[in-house]
């Protein structure tokens, strides 16, 4: 009898525990694995290596708008010093899924990187002031720059491109690379205001 009474007591105790507490001693803890991902406003999580659709490709000017807003919120004196298509190559028409914008701030004594993806801020980071001048002038969009670069890059049969915009002396300059292989590139530098070809060359490795 004592054994039966003890078993009933244990059974009642387990039932009460499961019904009231779930035997977890309180609320269930939820954990979300976020390794290898970055938070965004749109979905909260974007997985690494996610493929972008052609509808999400932007020109430099289109991607610049949200980057400029983010930089102004970071520091009111932020000035644009560099643009490039990091980390993914643009299309032959000068539109890309990823753009990186760098800003300098004298007030913050730092530079501010804004990465744009899907037309929104993907991530931001700060670092040492970039040794570059503010990009000035009515610089042409990346799509127009690619049109201007079509002739000097016509001999390049590759489809791997890279674009960057920064000041060179007193004028903004687009630098465009067309890659034909792991170490074969064709380069062109264009005046980003007039579209004038400044220089073009081929190289066996990045310069």
pLDDT per position as a tens digit, 34-63: 223 333 333 333 333 333 334 589 999 999
How far apart CA 12 and CA 26 sit, in angstroms, is 19
**Which tens digits make up the pLDDT trace of 85-117?**
988 999 999 999 999 999 999 999 999 999 999
**pLDDT greater than 90 at residue 32:** no
- Average pLDDT of the chain is 78
DSSP-derived 3-state class of residue 82: strand
Average pLDDT of the residues in 132-144 = 97
> Do the domain assignments include residue 42?
no
Report percent pLDDT > 70 for the chain.
71
**Domain assignment of residue 25, yes or no:** no
Strand order in the sheet with 120-127: 120-127, 110-117, 98-105, 79-84, 160-168, 171-179, 185-191, 197-203
Q: List phi, psi (to 5°) of 182.
A: -60, -35
Residue 51 lies in a domain: yes
pLDDT at 202 over 80: yes
Statement: residue 146 has pLDDT above 90? yes
Judge residue 112's burial from the number of C-beta atoms within 10 Å of its C-beta, 0-12 exposed, 13-18 middle, 19 or more buried: buried
Task: Establish if 145 belongs to a structural domain.
Answer: yes
pLDDT of residue 205: 58
Per-residue confidence band for 183, with pLDDT thresholds at 50, 70 and 90: low
In this structure, is residue 22 part of a structural domain?
Answer: no
| pLDDT given at position 55 | 56
41 vs 116: CA distance, rounded Å: 12
- Percentage of residues in the chain having pLDDT higher than 90: 60
pLDDT band for 18, please (50, 70, 90 cuts): very low
- Domain assignment present for 129: yes
Beta bridge partners of 130: none
Q: Report the number of distinct structural domains present in the chain.
A: 1
Report if residue 136 sits inside a domain: yes
Residue 95 has what pLDDT? Answer: 96
Between 35 and 4, the higher pLDDT residue: 4
Looking at residue 182, its pLDDT comes to 65
The pLDDT value recorded for residue 17 is 38
The phi and psi torsions of 166 (rounded to 5 degrees) equal -160, 175
Query: Model-level pTM?
Result: 0.72
Q: Which domain holds residue 158?
A: 47-203
Residue 124 has pLDDT above 50, yes or no: yes
Assign 201 a pLDDT band (cuts: 50, 70, 90): very high
Whether residue 36 lies inside any domain: the answer is no
Q: How confident is the model at residue 159 (pLDDT cuts 50, 70, 90)?
A: confident
The partner residues of 173 in beta bridges, in order of sequence, read 166, 191
């Amino acid at each position: 009898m004592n054994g039966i009474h003890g078993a009933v007591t244990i059974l009642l105790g387990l039932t009460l525990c499961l019904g009231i507490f779930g035997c977890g001693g309180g609320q269930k803890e939820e954990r979300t694995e976020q390794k290898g991902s970055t938070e965004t406003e749109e979905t909260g999580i974007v997985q690494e290596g996610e493929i972008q659709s052609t509808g999400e490709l932007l020109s430099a000017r289109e991607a610049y708008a949200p980057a400029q807003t983010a930089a102004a919120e970071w520091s009111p004196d932020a000035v644009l010093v560099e643009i490039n298509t990091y980390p993914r190559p643009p299309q032959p028409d000068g539109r890309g899924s990823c753009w990186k914008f760098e800003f300098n701030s004298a007030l913050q004594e730092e530079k501010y990187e804004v990465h744009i993806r899907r037309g929104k801020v993907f991530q931001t980071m700060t670092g040492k002031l970039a040794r570059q001048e503010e990009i000035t002038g009515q610089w042409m969009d990346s799509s127009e720059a690619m049109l201007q670069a079509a002739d000097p890059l016509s001999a390049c049969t590759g489809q791997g491109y890279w674009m960057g915009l920064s000041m060179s002396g007193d004028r903004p300059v687009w630098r465009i690379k067309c890659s034909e292989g792991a170490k074969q590139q064709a380069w062109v530098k264009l005046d980003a205001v007039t579209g004038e070809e400044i220089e073009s060359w081929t190289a066996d490795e990045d310069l």
